[in-house]
Amino acid sequence: MADKVGSNVDGANQAAAKSAKSARSAKSAKSAKSAVLAGLQRGQRLLTKGRRTSVEPAPGAATAVELPSFDRIIHERLRLGMVTALAANDSLTFADLKRVLQTTDGNLSVHARKLEDAGYVVCEKSFHARVPRTEYRLTATGRAALREYLAEMERFVRAARG
Residue 64 counted as domain residue: no
Amino acid identity for residue 112 in this structure:
A
Q: Domain total for the chain?
A: 2
Residues 98 and 144 in one domain: yes
| Residues of the domain holding 84 | 72-161
Residue 103 counted as domain residue: yes
Q: What tens digit of pLDDT does each residue of 60-98 get? A: 655 565 666 788 999 999 999 999 999 999 999 999 999
Residue from 136, 123, 121 nearest 91 by CA = 136
Q: What tens digit of pLDDT does each residue of 113-162 get? A: 999 999 999 999 999 899 999 999 999 999 999 999 999 999 889 888 87
DSSP 53-109: EEEEEPTTPPPPPPPP---HHHHSHHHHHHHHHHHHSS-EEHHHHHHHHT--HHHHH
Cα distances (Å, whole numbers) of residue 143 to 82, 85, 88, 113: 12, 11, 10, 17
